[in-house]
Structure 1
């Protein structure tokens, strides 16, 4: 008998009928001879509703209380799923993060899992029950409820699969991982197998099929992940090790991230320690930074202070949700680094290409820049890794850029 972890996202449990359908799928898997652990997200729209209640009371609510509030959405789904399984003749037991327990650090709203005690899961399974676990949540050493960040139920599922030695099925409203968003590009196609590394990059670059940290955990512990639709039985996409991946093309996918905001500190002191001071302050507030650009001084008038000292510009991007807190941090830091001004920009997106084949193929970056230039799209910033290239462009060019790159690299049609 094998053990399977099944995760159902918000759309998959978005109504009573969908919860009943997911319960039937879990029961069918159990009846096929498997032990089953089900991870559930909050019903679609519920987390946003809860967060809005908090923001209506306070512009920047306390993070600890936000976690206590947001975690209730998954609690409702877990109880309803267990009830649905029982109503269909099965046996089930629901568990919250603190009941297992899923131990995390204390980084509220984006906590990281430190350990999982799977004893209660094994006890439930031994009793013939389907264990239903509230995703997205855990508990810190002090007993405070924590959450794992948006999409954190994916991380819950993969981490639990790693803890109990299971494979993981992620059920969502799409039937797999596509070469790009099919809603933007009609020629997008489903990928049969994709490597952990490629999926990690796509997840970090805006592809919303899997949360980035869930892929990190899967890669670290070698958990096979099957991304598939909760509304059909067709095979989805397997996220596996590089050796098991079937695709060996130069570019595997194109990602679009609309969640970028840019911060520019204009005219900071150009001396050692300034950059460390800026990003150290952001780290203390658990604000993740993406692209970082420091413009070398040109020794023109614009790069010198009133006393003639050399100045430089420091630009970086953060998630739009983190921008209000980043602004508060920058207002505090700016005087210490003697910034001449601070600028903020939200009318930008990040478009990226990803592929293992980029390691061994020259000219990929040049081709990307040529494709964007041919559409009259100006590149505002660039970042690269071994298997990805990202460009910041104006929001108005978002979908045009995706289509140009997807078709330009020949990703449409059948594999």
Structure 2
């Protein structure tokens, strides 16, 4: 008998029929002799609907009250999944994050896990019950309800798997695994059998939505292998682990696309020490996650600084950046939200020169203009015009030998 943690995302529990299918899968796992911990997200677009509801009530919401509101989505799902399991003769009990002792810091909306106690989960498993946990939430060291950011149900599952010494952590989602590209953009993308944590971290950081970046980081740090699977077909998916790639693995593992970022340019910045710190420290204090940064060569004592950030932070950031620009004497501030980021990720880059050059040549041949470039040991990212994203991604996918023999045929979620 083993212990399996199973996490089900929003599309996997989007309606009563999907919840019943999830209960059936949990019941099969339980009846084959394994103990099961289930972690659930809110149903479908429940979290988005709650945010919209809050916006209709108030333009300024406190972090504490938003966390009190948003955690109700996962609690609803946990109770419904538990009811479905009891209907099938499977003993089960639901818990909130605070009830199982997921202790976080005090940062509402982006809380970090400090400790996972899990005593009530252990007691429930000892009693032969399935423990169904509301993901994405915990209780702070100040005894306040907290949430850990969008996608953090994956983090809840990883943390519970580590704390409970689980034999496997299965992440059920709306695709059958991790692909070489988003099949909605590159139809000939193919499923990967395994991915190293470092590659998955780069993919998540570059914009892949299959796994939340913090959950991958936690799993890597605590060596918790993740099995990404589909809750619609139940077929074998992709293993994400610390297993080192073999010499036969491809140089490039995937082409990642992201249209959720915006670019801000501060024109005519005085070229003197401390100016960059004056610009980016206030953004950091506001919890704005700046991604790529490019500073032009100084001309006549001034320079231009461009950087990207999540589009959701643009409105808040514009005020901050304009204030700083005025203070330092910059000429003007512009922004562009019609951009896309396309990235190549692959552990083989470490020992294979020329990947970036080939990428740039492919894009040039496609007539795609590169606006910004960023690299790491196993990733090359470029910013380009939004309308060119699909064409660029498909060309790169083909050029680096990632195409499968046929178009992906399984059902796909709608693009947001």
Deviation at 1:248, TM superposition (A): 2.1
CA contact (8 A) 1:350 1:391 kept: yes
TM-score with structure 2 length normalisation? 0.94
Q: Following TM superposition, by how much is the alpha carbon of 1:57 offset from its aligned partner in structure 2, in angstroms?
A: 3.1
Residue 200 of structure 1 aligns with which residue?
Answer: 201
391, 396, 399: which is aligned to 1:405? 396
Indicate if the aligned counterparts of 1:193 and 1:247 stay in contact, CA closer than 8 A: no
2:257 is matched with: 256
1:183 lines up with 2:174 in the alignment: no
Separation in 2, partners of 1:292, 1:225: 32
- The DSSP-based 3-state class of the residue aligned with 1:128 is coil
- Partner SS for 1:65: helix
Cα distance in 2, alignment partners of residues 414 and 404 from structure 1: 15
Return the match for 1:334 from 319, 325, 342. Answer: 325
Distance 2:149 2:247 in 1: 31
Aligned pair count reads: 405
Q: How does 1:348-359 map to 2 (within 5 A)?
A: 348-359=339-350
1:105 CA displacement: 1.9
Cα RMSD after superposing both structures: 1.6
Equivalent in the alignment of 2:377: 386
Displacement of 1:340 after TM fit? 1.8
Q: Residue 163 of structure 1: CA displacement?
A: 1.1
- Alignment partners' CA distance in 2, 1:162 and 1:245: 26
Partner of 2:213: 212
1:97 aligns with 2:106: no
- Write the distance in 2 (CA, Å) between the matches of 1:329 and 1:75: 36
Please say if residues 248 and 356 of structure 1, whose CA atoms lie closer than 8 Å, have aligned partners that are also in contact: no
Correspondence for 2:56 = 56
Q: What is the DSSP-based 3-state SS (H/G/I as helix, E as strand, rest coil) of the residue aligned with 2:369?
A: coil
Deviation at 1:414, TM superposition (A): 6.4
How has the CA–CA distance of structure 1 residues 269 and 332 changed in structure 2, closer, same or farther, with 3 Å as cutoff?
same
After superposition, residues 16-415 of structure 1 pair within 5 angstroms as 16-166=16-166, 167-243=168-244, 248-299=249-300, 310-413=301-404
Counterpart of 2:410 in structure 1 is none
In 2, the alpha carbon distance for the partners of 1:46 and 1:249 equals 39
Q: Which moved more, 1:228-237 or 1:7-16?
A: 228-237
**Equivalent residues of 1:194, 1:246 under 8 A apart:** no
Q: Where in structure 1 are there 5+ consecutive unaligned residues? A: 300-309
Match of 1:305 in 2: none
After superposing the two structures, state which structure 1 stretch, 249-258 or 310-319, moved more: 310-319
Provide Cα deviations, 1:8-67, integer angstroms capped at 9, x if missing partner.
000110011111111121121111111110000000011111111122234453333222
Equivalent-residue separation in structure 2 for 1:205 and 1:292 (angstroms): 14
Q: Give the secondary-structure state (helix, strand or coil) at the position aligned to 1:389.
A: strand
CA–CA distance in 2 between the matches of 1:373 and 1:257? 20
SS in 2 for 1:401: helix
Is the alpha carbon distance of 1:317 and 1:247 closer, same or farther for their aligned partners in structure 2, counting shifts above 3 Å?
farther
- Structure 2 Cα separation of the partners of residues 103 and 245 of structure 1: 39
CA contact (8 A) 1:194 1:247 kept: no
Moved more, 24-33 or 334-343: 334-343
